[in-house]
């Protein structure tokens, strides 16, 4: 399961620290190489000797080891494929979220560029504290995977949410993080748009479309699993371990995409962006007038976001457009990639009821700028997403 994988565990001060002994055994049983860092407070709950015996490696507690040529927060970070911090106290979460590096564990977290999993455990009132939740959000927005605590009886004698999640859950999350890693995507910033934009008519009505955003979310989830730093710009609420930006209109989406484009390695425009918006939105709700059977809305064109970002792309940026067509799918997709000047177009047939909008499955054609065509047969959107990255990055 973990053969040849190097797993670094960070144990912080909390009664749940004893449970990490079983996690170490589980990792070792599945052929992982395990090294452990302990904060000073963690040593009050489990002894470094016990941890060293189970991991078959030295236990690290000091910020710097004088007999080591390289500082520990650099050498351990280079060695590890993943960093699992469990149990993570409110104190350590706050330090990491705010860039405080006053011990070995927090210094490694600050310098670590590979996946980090954080499994908090604390008193339920501490977990619900507004500042703790702000720090958790900061970490989520910056691609840390958070495994939330579970409800149950706590060491302080109360019941509530605060118990360390199941050890098996931490093990499985670690496996999923390592399972799909591909060097071509690790550390890449990939921006993905998803959903259908909404163009307001009045405060309660809008012009929209049938896009569910499922394909965009599948792409974002897969990019994250492959090791990328993901930004999802979407038109609906979506809870995730990567950064999400909620927008409504095409103009809002344009601003968000342009802002994220500056340092993006790849932008995938999977959203269904409205071609037109209402020229003059009504400030108040339009009332039904029985004497007037019709209403006229004047529409103006929305900006072509895909064309604009292709015009301003940097030399090494990859821009991927989506093409939803009800007829002449390949011909229209070929024309679109020439007109927009993007690197790839993903074309799907929206005339079919078994794929596309709102469906959990899709079948697409990927056309590159040299007009090569790759067909991805009908499959769940998560599989289609993986194959799309296989074409773009050779990551399948």
Q: Which domains does the chain carry?
A: 6-179 (3.40.50.1950), 189-393 (3.40.50.10300)
Most confident of 45-49, 121-125, 378-382: 45-49
Residue 381 has pLDDT above 50, yes or no: yes
* Separation CA 128–CA 136 (nearest Å): 11
Q: Is 305 exposed, middle or buried (0-12, 13-18, 19+ CB in 10 A)?
A: buried
Distance between CA 299 and CA 314 in Å, rounded? 33
pLDDT of residue 184: 75
How would DSSP label each residue in 258-281? HHHHTT-SEEEE-SB--SEEESS-
pLDDT at 238 over 60: yes
User: In the prediction, which pLDDT does 104 show?
Assistant: 93
pLDDT reading at 388 higher than 60: yes
Most confident of 134-143, 250-259, 343-352: 250-259
Which residues are catalytically annotated? 156
pTM: 0.58
89-92 — which CB contacts under 8 Å span 24+ positions?
A: 89/12, 89/13, 89/14, 89/41, 89/120, 89/121, 89/122, 90/120, 90/122, 90/126, 90/127, 90/129, 90/132, 91/12, 91/13, 92/10, 92/12, 92/39
Q: How far apart are CA 139 and CA 235, in angstroms?
A: 22
* 67 confidence band (pLDDT: 50, 70, 90): very low
Q: What is the mean pLDDT of residues 288-305?
A: 82
State yes or no: pLDDT of 192 exceeds 80.
yes
- How long is the chain? 396
Integer Cα distance of 109 and 10 in angstroms: 9
Q: Which residue is it, tokens 């910020």?
A: 63
Which stretch of 65-69, 139-143, 202-206, 338-342 has the lowest confidence by average pLDDT? 65-69
DSSP 182: -
Helix (H) / strand (E) element for 234: namely strand 229-234
d(C-alpha 104, C-alpha 109), whole Å: 9
Instruction: Count other C-beta atoms under 10 Å from residue 191's C-beta.
Output: 29
Q: Which two tokens stand for residue 88?
A: 């993570």
Segment 276-305 shows an average pLDDT of: 84
Q: Is residue 396 pLDDT above 60, yes or no?
A: no
Rg for the chain, CA atoms, rounded = 25
- The predicted-structure confidence for 91-131, as pLDDT tens digits, reads as follows 999 999 999 999 999 999 998 988 999 999 998 889 999 99
Ranked by mean pLDDT, the top range of 65-69, 225-229, 248-252 is: 248-252
Q: What angle do CA 101, 176, 144 make, to 5 degrees?
A: 25
Weakest-pLDDT range from 41-45, 47-51, 239-243, 386-390: 239-243
- What is the 8-class DSSP label of residue 67? T
Would you tell me the crossing angle of helices 214-225 and 381-393 to the nearest 10 degrees? 60
| pLDDT of the residue at 65 | 55
Provide mean pLDDT across the span 219-246: 90
pLDDT at 4: 79
* Strand partners of residue 348: 324, 364
State the angle between helix axes of 104-111 and 72-79 in degrees (0 to 180), rounded to the nearest 10: 60
Between residues 66 and 224, the one the model is more confident about: 224
Q: What three-state secondary structure class fits 381?
A: helix
Share of the chain above pLDDT 90, in %: 57
Could you say which DSSP state residue 196 is in? B
Q: Which is more confident, 288 or 43? A: 43
């Amino acid at each position: 399961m973990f053969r040849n994988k190097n797993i670094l565990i960070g144990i912080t001060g909390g009664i749940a620290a004893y449970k990490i002994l079983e996690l170490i055994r589980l990792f070792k049983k599945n052929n992982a190489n395990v090294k452990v860092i302990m904060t000073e407070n963690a040593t009050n709950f489990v002894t470094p000797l016990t941890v060293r015996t189970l991991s078959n490696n030295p236990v690290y507690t000091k910020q710097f080891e004088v007999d080591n040529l390289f500082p520990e927060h650099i050498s351990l970070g280079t060695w590890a494929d993943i960093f699992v911090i469990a149990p993570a106290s409110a104190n350590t979460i706050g330090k990491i979220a705010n860039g405080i590096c006053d011990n070995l564990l927090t210094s490694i977290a600050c310098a670590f560029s590979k996946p980090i999993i954080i499994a908090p455990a604390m008193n339920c009132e501490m977990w619900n504290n507004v500042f703790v939740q702000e720090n958790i959000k900061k970490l989520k927005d910056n691609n840390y995977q958070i495994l939330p605590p579970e409800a149950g009886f706590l060491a302080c004698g109360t019941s509530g949410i605060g118990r360390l999640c199941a050890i098996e859950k931490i093990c499985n999350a670690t496996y999923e993080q390592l399972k799909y890693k591909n060097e071509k995507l690790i550390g890449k910033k990939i921006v993905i748009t998803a959903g259908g934009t909404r163009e307001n008519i009045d405060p309660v009505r809008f012009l929209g479309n049938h896009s569910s955003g499922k394909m965009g979310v599948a792409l974002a989830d897969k990019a994250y699993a492959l090791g990328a730093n993901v930004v999802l710009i979407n038109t609906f609420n979506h809870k995730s371990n990567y950064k999400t930006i909620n927008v409504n209109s095409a103009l809002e989406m344009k601003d968000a995409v342009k802002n994220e484009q500056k340092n993006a390695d790849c932008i995938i425009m999977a959203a269904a962006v409205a071609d037109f918006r209402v020229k003059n939105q009504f400030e108040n709700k339009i009332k039904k007038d029985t004497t007037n059977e019709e209403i006229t809305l004047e529409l103006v064109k929305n900006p072509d976001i895909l064309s604009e970002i292709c015009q301003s792309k940097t030399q090494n940026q990859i821009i991927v457009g989506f093409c939803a067509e009800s007829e002449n799918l390949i011909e229209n997709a070929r024309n679109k990639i020439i007109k927009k000047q993007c690197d790839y177009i993903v074309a799907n047939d929206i005339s079919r009821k078994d794929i596309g909008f709102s469906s959990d499955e899709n079948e697409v054609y990927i056309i590159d700028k040299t007009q090569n065509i790759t067909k991805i047969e009908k499959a769940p959107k998560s599989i289609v997403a993986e194959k799309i990255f296989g074409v773009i990055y050779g990551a399948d």
